[in-house]
Structure 1
């Protein structure tokens, strides 16, 4: 057999194996990008509701999905660490904390948008979202109800009861 015959046999045997491995590799790359994209989409969608469960979960997944060895993704992780640091900082005034938190969140989302090939500028990320006032009012009412109920259950507050329109039994 000639060398060309041997090369043909090797190509027939090895070709499908290489094709399958290449397909698996490309699928893994696509899946990793989709997980990063899912985090970004949740954070963008909930950026006005930073205490929502999905928002917090997405933040906590950054360390898992973004690569510490990739230069661009390392910038995302650094921005996340800086944002996390301010979230647990109670030494500054609430006004300063709120402004700094928003700036760092915008920075994090901007770095993520760059990694994921979105062209969002920081102003767009900071200002382009919809948050109905009714959502805030509902959340405030729910907090007030929970606090009031807890005060009743802890014995710190009583439920006021009054009777009206009671007919006298004296006839």
Structure 2
């Protein structure tokens, strides 16, 4: 038996194993990237509605899917930590907080876009979302209604009743 025969036997025996392992590695890499893309797409789609459940869930998944040991992804983790820190901050007034929150969210999305090979600049990320005014108004009204109802249920407020245009019943 020659060395060429031994190499042929080795190739025949190990070829399928190597092919399966390579396929598994490629599938795993593809799934990891897809999970990151889902987070990015969710955050981009909900950036005008930063209080939505989907937005919050996507933010909370960043730590699970992005790796601070990966040189490219470290910037995403750093941006997320800065944004997360601000979200828990009560040390600045609400107007400044909201401006800073928008800036840090744009920075986070920009870093994610770079890692995932999307060609978005910060201006596009900041200004290209669409949020109808009626959605904001509906949310404000719903919040006011819930707060008012809670005050009534807690006994802190009564229900105003106004009598007007009272007519005598017909006989």
Normalising TM by the smaller chain, what interval?
over 0.9
CA deviation after TM superposition for structure 1 residue 2, in Å = 2.0
Give the Cα separation in 2 of the matches to 1:24 and 1:15: 14
SS at match of 2:72: helix
Aligned to 1:34: 34
The gaps in structure 1 that reach 5 residues or longer are none
Give the Cα separation in 1 of the matches to 2:71 and 2:167: 75
Aligned to 2:23: 23
TM-score, normalisation: structure 2: 0.93
Give the Cα separation in 2 of the matches to 1:102 and 1:162: 44
TM-score, normalisation: structure 1: 0.93
Give the Cα separation in 2 of the matches to 1:165 and 1:35: 66
Give the Cα separation in 1 of the matches to 2:131 and 2:161: 38
CA deviation after TM superposition for structure 1 residue 59, in Å = 0.6
CA deviation after TM superposition for structure 1 residue 106, in Å = 0.6
Aligned to 2:89: 89
1:59 matched to 2:59? The reply is: yes
Aligned to 1:112: 112
The gaps in structure 2 that reach 5 residues or longer are none
Number of residue pairs matched? 169
Aligned to 1:167: 169
Give the Cα separation in 1 of the matches to 2:140 and 2:94: 18
Aligned to 1:74: 74
